[in-house]
Structure 1
Amino acid sequence: MNLDIAAIDPTDQPTLDAAYRIAATVEAMDAPDLPPLCRRRFEAPLRHPMPGIDTRWSVAHLDGVPVGWVRINLHLLDNTENASIELVVDPAYRRRGVGRALFTHARELLREAGCKRVVGSAVAALQPPAPASPASTSGGPADRHSRPGQTGAEGPGEPRREALGELGGEASGEPRWEAPGELGGEASGEPGRKAPGGSGGRMPGGELAGAAFAAALGAKVALVDVRRRLDVAALDRRRLAALLTDARSAAAGYRTVRWRDLPPEEYLADVAHLEGRLLADAPMGDLEWEPEQVDAERIRGIERALDARGVRRYSVAAVHEASGRLVGWSLLSLAANTTRHAWQQITIVDPAHRGHRLGLLCKAENLTHTLAYEPELQAIDTYNAAANSHMIAINEQLGFRPAAGSTEWQLTI
């Protein structure tokens, strides 16, 4: 058996095709309820990287056949000692040490780059829901659909930022996280979906393979997430209208603005401020991930990369009328290859302006905004930290229900 691991050549289309087929196969196993993996987004890190992200992508060939790949994201602007990772192995070639070899290869690259930690996510069993507290009137904690470091939405779930990592392979070591430490296998992931590879299926004893692989490497559970889904066909439009009416009454002194894709120039600085607060306000568990320094130019770079991926974005934001500042924001996105599925991305309210139901206002109004342009939309997914009781309560009011579990794993290099 001859196993060779080498950096991917962007001009080697057959190998890219094989890497995509492996990723799409694994994603369909891990999350069969999500749309097919978007090819345009899959290759985007090679041609249209997110600002401040240096992607290193290697493919494993077993006796000349592509059987898996690993993609690490080095962070150049913030959290420079952290990294994200996606690692995926073809199910037909698992339990042969391919995943372990890919991770060993990635670890050497990470050490050479001076990284101290790697983070990734793995599909997890859906836990019984904790009692939800009633939605308060505040803007509440940020809704971090994307993982730390997911600037630009690359992984599963189409996160807004580059995914942290996905763990998917098998217990013996076929990781598949997306973004930081993906031990196994998106968006915003652009995204929101888990990177291809996700859990990699269950082991014979019922244990999820991605989690088993992460634990075998010595990674620790750092954050528990839940993916929730809104069935648009079952959306209670009358209740949505009533929620909007109540939220608008509580938001005296604020008005909403809407846009598609790139934020209006006059609000770029405020959007950057809110984006930079995201990791400070959203529950992060034990993840060692610091808030990011985001400015208008960085937002422009993210938006250019999303345009290149064909991602359609819909936003509603709240403007404080007295100051003219944009102080709340909610974002929905659709990948280029679907008209039926969207990801609920960021929802955040500046702490100084909470207590006026601005989070609910922006999120509910953006739902109607998006549906006006996307009439074929059938489902919307989002990730919430299990501890984010406030945002979960808002999502439950809108009709989101638990669909899948997810765990962020962190490993010291």
Structure 2
Amino acid sequence: MLELIRIDPFDDTAVDLWWDIYAAAERADRGAETAVWTRGESRHELQQHTEAIERRAYLARFDGEVVAGGRLALPLRDNRRTASLGVHVAPDFRRRGSGTAVLSALEDAARSAGRSILTSNASWPYAAGDDGAGVPGREFARRHGYALALGDVQSRLRLPLDAELLDDLEREASARHSGYALRSWIGSVPRTLVHDWAELDASLETEAPVGDLDIEPASVDIAALRSDETLLARQNRRSYGTVAQDAAGRVAAYTQLVVSGDDGNAYQWGTLVRHEARGNRLGMAVKVANLRLLQQHAPVVRSIYTYNAGVNEHMLAINRRLGFAPSEHMAEFQKHV
């Protein structure tokens, strides 16, 4: 009989077992060289104390042997009807019912926490096609009643970038946004900008295409933002930020890159332009400025990864001009219970 055990995030042995299964399962489906959260990054996220979200991790044992892992994330401030979950079965123990048993237990835990909207995701190599037919994670979700709510594209940018390309894109963008000033920094968001930054960041999930995902607008929470900045430092990550400010000093656009000190890659996080400021090439402007900052201060970084909704043609076009190439598909699934 399968036994599902919630692990203590400060139990290094248990977290190591959980992470080993997570990494092995992801690489079995996505390729041996795929970028996954590192052991340290995952450990510190599980250990984070925050009033915004509750995170749980589980190990599944069958006849005393660890065969699978699970995760559950319960938002505590916004979207309190939802739960995000994940199931990872060790490659050598697949097709024995372990994944189904873990999923059922996680769904029960989510329902016990008052959640009625369950979300999850799966990724696969871009060359396999956007349908994901035959991909283990895609088929597993389909069999258990999870509908495809949004299709995303992971893209990869190889560094360093040609300085002439950045110069050309900067000139092209600057002709459209003469009334705005750019400001860049490394580390925590400056105090004078943090409210506007948090406001844009909170609106990102609902401003970007959401497909059929049932998502409520997030609230502006500067304390949560500062807590996440503390987490980044513990994870050996470093943030690079750029904003565009209008003549009154209000932030009209923002972008953020986060460098993993563990795997050496950079990850594009949020990029957003306020509605009233769109059409001024501010998205390209802040991205170019942030890339210059990254290349100046982190020249060892060789790749940047980003995700965009497949229907977000505007942002995909910006990324293509910068040199991003599609590398994976990611499906976001949803189930109402």
TM-score by length of 1: 0.77
% identity of equivalent residues: 32
Structure 1 runs of 4+ off > 4 angstroms? 127-130
- How far apart are residue 222 of structure 1 and its match? 0.3
Measure, in 2, the Cα distance between the counterparts of 1:263 and 1:370.
Answer: 16
SS of the residue 1:250 aligns to: coil
Measure, in 1, the Cα distance between the counterparts of 2:93 and 2:128.
Answer: 34
Give, as a single letter, the amino acid of the residue that structure 2 aligns with 1:212: E
Give the direction of change, closer, same or farther, for the CA distance of 1:408–1:313 in structure 2 (3 Å limit). same
> Is the aligned partner of 1:353 residue 2:277?
yes
Residue of structure 2 equivalent to 1:139: none
Measure, in 2, the Cα distance between the counterparts of 1:92 and 1:257.
Answer: 50
Residue of structure 2 equivalent to 1:214: 141
- How far apart are residue 258 of structure 1 and its match? 0.8
Residue of structure 2 equivalent to 1:12: 11
Give, as a single letter, the amino acid of the residue that structure 2 aligns with 1:263: V
CA contact (8 A) 1:49 1:305 kept: no
SS of the residue 2:126 aligns to: coil
CA contact (8 A) 1:51 1:302 kept: no
Residue of structure 2 equivalent to 1:327: 252
CA RMSD of aligned residues (A): 1.9
Structure 2 residues not aligned, in runs of 5+: none
Measure, in 2, the Cα distance between the counterparts of 1:19 and 1:310.
Answer: 20
- How far apart are residue 337 of structure 1 and its match? 0.4
SS of the residue 2:193 aligns to: helix
Deviations 1:15-34 (A, max 9, x none): 22211211221232224343
Give, as a single letter, the amino acid of the residue that structure 1 aligns with 2:332: E
- How far apart are residue 374 of structure 1 and its match? 1.0
Measure, in 2, the Cα distance between the counterparts of 1:316 and 1:128.
Answer: 35
CA contact (8 A) 2:209 2:311 kept: yes
Give, as a single letter, the amino acid of the residue that structure 2 aligns with 1:272: A
Q: How many residues align?
A: 335
Measure, in 2, the Cα distance between the counterparts of 1:54 and 1:25.
Answer: 25
SS of the residue 1:118 aligns to: strand
Give, as a single letter, the amino acid of the residue that structure 2 aligns with 1:17: D
> Is the aligned partner of 1:315 residue 2:241?
yes
Measure, in 2, the Cα distance between the counterparts of 1:27 and 1:116.
Answer: 27
CA contact (8 A) 1:51 1:301 kept: no
Residue of structure 2 equivalent to 1:46: 46
Residue of structure 1 equivalent to 2:105: 105
Give the direction of change, closer, same or farther, for the CA distance of 1:92–1:381 in structure 2 (3 Å limit). same
- How far apart are residue 66 of structure 1 and its match? 1.5
Higher relative contact order (CA 8 A, sep 6+): 2
Deviations 1:223-254 (A, max 9, x none): 01111111214x33212211012212211111
Tell me which protein shows more strand as a share of its residues.
Answer: 2
Residue of structure 1 equivalent to 2:314: 390
Measure, in 2, the Cα distance between the counterparts of 1:211 and 1:318.
Answer: 39
Give the direction of change, closer, same or farther, for the CA distance of 1:246–1:51 in structure 2 (3 Å limit). farther
Tell me which protein shows more helix as a share of its residues.
Answer: 2
Residue of structure 1 equivalent to 2:61: 61
Measure, in 1, the Cα distance between the counterparts of 2:7 and 2:222.
Answer: 32
Structure 1 residues not aligned, in runs of 5+: 131-201
Residue of structure 2 equivalent to 1:250: 176
Give the direction of change, closer, same or farther, for the CA distance of 1:226–1:36 in structure 2 (3 Å limit). closer
Measure, in 2, the Cα distance between the counterparts of 1:406 and 1:305.
Answer: 25
Mapping for residues 223-234 of structure 1, pairs under 5 Å:
223-233=150-160
Give the direction of change, closer, same or farther, for the CA distance of 1:236–1:217 in structure 2 (3 Å limit). same
Residue of structure 2 equivalent to 1:289: 215
Give, as a single letter, the amino acid of the residue that structure 1 aligns with 2:192: E
Residue of structure 2 equivalent to 1:342: 266
Give, as a single letter, the amino acid of the residue that structure 2 aligns with 1:210: G
Give the direction of change, closer, same or farther, for the CA distance of 1:231–1:129 in structure 2 (3 Å limit). farther
Measure, in 2, the Cα distance between the counterparts of 1:129 and 1:4.
Answer: 36
Q: Which moved more, 1:290-299 or 1:354-363?
A: 290-299
Measure, in 2, the Cα distance between the counterparts of 1:338 and 1:379.
Answer: 10
Give, as a single letter, the amino acid of the residue that structure 1 aligns with 2:223: E
- How far apart are residue 296 of structure 1 and its match? 2.0
- How far apart are residue 45 of structure 1 and its match? 3.1
- How far apart are residue 56 of structure 1 and its match? 2.1
Give, as a single letter, the amino acid of the residue that structure 2 aligns with 1:379: S
SS of the residue 1:266 aligns to: coil
Measure, in 2, the Cα distance between the counterparts of 1:360 and 1:227.
Answer: 19
SS of the residue 1:230 aligns to: strand
Residue of structure 1 equivalent to 2:20: 21
- How far apart are residue 127 of structure 1 and its match? 7.3
- How far apart are residue 9 of structure 1 and its match? 2.6
- How far apart are residue 51 of structure 1 and its match? 4.4
Measure, in 2, the Cα distance between the counterparts of 1:366 and 1:113.
Answer: 40
Q: Which moved more, 1:97-106 or 1:31-40?
A: 31-40
SS of the residue 1:273 aligns to: helix
TM-score by length of 2: 0.94
